[in-house]
Structure 1
Amino acid sequence: MLKRKIYDDLLDWKRKSKGQTALLIDGARRVGKSYIAERFAENEYKSHIIIDFGNAPQDILDLFSYESSDMDLFFAKLSAFYSTLLYKRESLIVFDEVQQFPRARQLIKYFVADGRYDFLETGSLIRLKKNTENIIIPSEEEHIELLPMDFEEFLWAMGDEVTVPLIRKCFESKTPLGQTLHRKIMNDFRQYVLVGGMPQSILAYRNGKDFEASDEAKRRILRLYRDDVSKFAAGYEEKVYAVFDGIPGQLSKKEKKYTLSSISRDARFRAYEDSFIWLNEAMVINACFNATDPNVGLALSADHAMQKCYMADTGLLVTHTFMDTAFTDNELYRAILFDKLDINEGMIMENIVAQMLRRGGHRLYFYSRSDSANRVNHMEIDFLITEKKKISPIEVKSANYRSHSSIDKFRKKFSPKVGTPYILYPKDVMEKDGIWHLPLYMAMFL
């Protein structure tokens, strides 16, 4: 059993909603939506019914299509089909993979108004236009995202519930952890980076700390993602494949911005824009946009034609990078485990920071300005976040970095708006030159 933080959010929804809204869990494929919905149903209700619309019999689909006007008869038939007694205000009905049958989602309005039972939906690819274009989205539907398991959840799965509270305490007091403890946590963090946050990968790994079993689980997920592209991106699937397959190569570049000319000399953003949107809405990637003028706000100045595409799960990126070769040839496992990353492989650590910032509720932005005529104006800031109405620049560095000239230039140029600057790197907590240097794993608290 895997402990997930979203469970507390489900409890909070049940307590506050009291049946007045349904809850939709939105997330990428294989992120654990069905698992958490089933555990919640089993633990918190007197009875429950789970309808898997990915494999629902025709009798159930017909029930939704033709017999939903009589609620008494509808629920009586549903109860009889699943051989489950339903209790007023004590039963939960789960619509699993609801994107496969949009009609059921549209009926949520009437089920909630009926008020007898609670309703929980799960869906992947739920934001794609193809899965919503013929229905009216019910206003009685609340949304919650389920993202890959974070570092703390990974440690829980490994039987460790004490480390992250200690890290949080040191973060809040800006106190070093000490060499021995920091080394131990970085070792655990590197394992998390390699395994990733997909539940199937973690379950495969924790049985003997088997990286190869984890890698095979991630390969199955990546193949599933490719199958989804062929099903749900019909008409431009080749462009989605091209963008997706190019992610490791783009991130391995120094500046990491996605350059379409690497796909085709004649490629233009307008022709590929739908491909980036598809991958982002399928929650396969975390898109990071260039905020061209932080003075006016990050979202207001975001240039969507200039973006970095991080994988939503770093463990998947590690496998995706060497997808066409055997596990034994994947050099990233050795490089990360033994802290031997070269400059190109540093993309992995930048990707995990993007993943942790996204999990922390941040939209992802960076700052890039090129000026060959005047190097003073040339800047590359990996991430920008908003803290207390100020803009905090973040750079991801190796342990042996020599300078932070871009942060210095950024602080000078946007001084009235700049908050606390951060450098995330593999060493312990330190303050230098007015910049807080934090271990990579502390990105979860920013």
Structure 2
Amino acid sequence: MLRRKIIEKLTQWKSDPRHKSLVIKGARQVGKTYAVNEFGAANYESVVSLNFEEHPEYKSIFSGDHSAESIYSQLSLFFPGAQFSQRRTLLFLDEIQSCPDAVTSLKFLTMDGRADVIASGSLLGISYKEVSSYPVGYVEHMDMHSLDFEEFLWACGITESAVSYVKGFFDRREQVPDAVQERMMQLFRQYIVVGGMPEAVQSFVDTKDFAKVLGIQRDILAEYQNDIAKYAQGAEKAKARACFLSIPKQLARDSKRFSYSVVEPRSSARKYGGSLQWLYDAGIINFCYKLDAPELPFEGNCDNTKFKVYMRDTGLLVAMLEEGSQKDILDGNLGIYKGAIYENIVGDMFAKNGKPLYYYEKNNSLEMDFFIRFNGMATAVEVKSSQNRKAKSMNSLIDNHGVRHGIKLAPGNYGTIGDRVEVLPIYMAMFL
């Protein structure tokens, strides 16, 4: 059984006496259904679960009259014996994107308050336009991702105290003992290959068979493409699929800024911009936006027309590459993808920690992989797949552009470059 951090967040949600209905968003197969059912079984007398994709007949409960009285009356016919009172029952509306009327009904279920309500969906960003009246002000939102690196470590039997032990070296800015450093890098490379999709992680924990993991990942990728075919509208189907399949090529380029011409020669945002947004709304990709200047505030200082695209699960990115890529990564031989893989995993780790993604470049001669707010400062983060201790771009930013702090993430141990740049083991991105 995989331990997930979202269970703690759900417990906090339930403990608030004024909590509203909750909507959990996340890509397919990140573990939403499992987590909610586990939480419900541990915290409620009963769980009434409706999956609108598995049982389309449940949609009729929410058609027509959206009042809570009508909904609970009909639920009692489908689920005889269910008791809806005093919040002792959790009503779980799964794959709610397949029932827009149920989304509208969340307002009235929240106002009624007799049961706690959690809704989840993998394509909610896609389906909002079909909702006649979204319940603004009556729902809370929570994002769920595939397992982050710490959750992966737990799955591999690494205890919280062991993770805290490693974090101590980060907090004290000390070198990690060689044996610990070697083990952490081994686990980190495994995480790159396995990723965080729960089925893939469980298979790896149970069998240590990377071929089985790859098969699971490619099945998930096929499901993503099936979702594109099912939910994308008209010509958007082919365009979204083309953008999706172009991601490895995009990241293999020296300049990793997303180029529409890689999708189709001489193409532009006018044709493909909506398709990329579709992939983002489906929880498949992350955007990393270009900063106009390397300074805070980032949100008001970025160019939304220039960006890099990263897969939200690096294991799925690896599964999109040619045969043998898994072994190459485990052996530390990343080839043309060496920068792309490490950038993607760091972007994935930052995003799972709730950090928006930004990068900086100037005149094609100065580029910094990421900028994050760290200790209240605009902090430059450079990602390297080798252990070289040079920091030309970082020093230029510090000397000429007002940046006060830089962090270099690399496979090696802790160190410094001068008095303004820290070198951290790449897995310590989890602590930033």
Give the TM-score of the pair, scaled to structure 1. 0.92
Please say if residues 68 and 109 of structure 2, whose CA atoms lie closer than 8 Å, have aligned partners that are also in contact.
no
Residue 431 (structure 1) aligns with: 416
Q: Which runs of 5+ in 2 are unaligned?
A: none
Residue 368 (structure 1) aligns with: 361
Residue 374 (structure 1) aligns with: none
The residue correspondences of 1:144-183 to structure 2 (distance < 5 A) are: 144-161=142-159, 162-183=161-182
**Against the structure 1 CA distance between its residues 233 and 61, is the aligned structure 2 distance closer, same or farther, given a 3 Å change threshold?**
closer
Distance 1:97 1:254 in 2: 39
Residue 340 (structure 2) aligns with: 347
Residue 420 (structure 1) aligns with: 405
Q: Quick check: 1:445 aligned with 2:431?
A: yes
Distance 2:374 2:158 in 1: 30
Distance 1:101 1:181 in 2: 49
**Against the structure 1 CA distance between its residues 400 and 130, is the aligned structure 2 distance closer, same or farther, given a 3 Å change threshold?**
same
The residue correspondences of 1:29-428 to structure 2 (distance < 5 A) are: 29-58=28-57, 60-69=58-67, 71=69, 74-86=71-83, 87-128=85-126, 131-161=129-159, 162-235=161-234, 236-295=236-295, 297-322=297-322, 330-370=323-363, 378-401=365-388, 403-415=390-402, 418-428=403-413
Question: Once the 2 structures are TM-superposed, how far is the Cα of residue 139 of structure 1 from its aligned partner?
Answer: 1.6
Deviations, residues 107-137 of structure 1 (Å, cap 9, x unaligned): 1111111121100111111112555453323
Q: Which runs of 5+ in 1 are unaligned?
A: 323-329, 372-377
Question: Once the 2 structures are TM-superposed, how far is the Cα of residue 27 of structure 1 from its aligned partner?
Answer: 0.3
Distance 2:388 2:255 in 1: 16
Aligned length: 428
Distance 1:431 1:229 in 2: 46
Question: Once the 2 structures are TM-superposed, how far is the Cα of residue 154 of structure 1 from its aligned partner?
Answer: 0.9
CA RMSD of aligned residues (A): 1.8
Please say if residues 332 and 345 of structure 1, whose CA atoms lie closer than 8 Å, have aligned partners that are also in contact.
no
Please say if residues 251 and 340 of structure 2, whose CA atoms lie closer than 8 Å, have aligned partners that are also in contact.
yes
Residue 2 (structure 2) aligns with: 2
**Against the structure 1 CA distance between its residues 50 and 367, is the aligned structure 2 distance closer, same or farther, given a 3 Å change threshold?**
same
Distance 2:414 2:374 in 1: 19
Distance 1:134 1:113 in 2: 18
Deviations, residues 324-356 of structure 1 (Å, cap 9, x unaligned): xxxxxx232122211222353331111100000
Deviations, residues 46-67 of structure 1 (Å, cap 9, x unaligned): 1110011112252x32222135
**Against the structure 1 CA distance between its residues 369 and 210, is the aligned structure 2 distance closer, same or farther, given a 3 Å change threshold?**
same
Tell me the amino acid that sits aligned with residue 407 of structure 2: Y
Distance 1:191 1:264 in 2: 34
Please say if residues 126 and 132 of structure 1, whose CA atoms lie closer than 8 Å, have aligned partners that are also in contact.
no
Distance 2:191 2:296 in 1: 37
Question: Once the 2 structures are TM-superposed, how far is the Cα of residue 270 of structure 1 from its aligned partner?
Answer: 2.1
Distance 2:68 2:405 in 1: 59
83-92 vs 392-401, which moves further: 83-92
Give the TM-score of the pair, scaled to structure 2. 0.95
Distance 1:428 1:402 in 2: 11
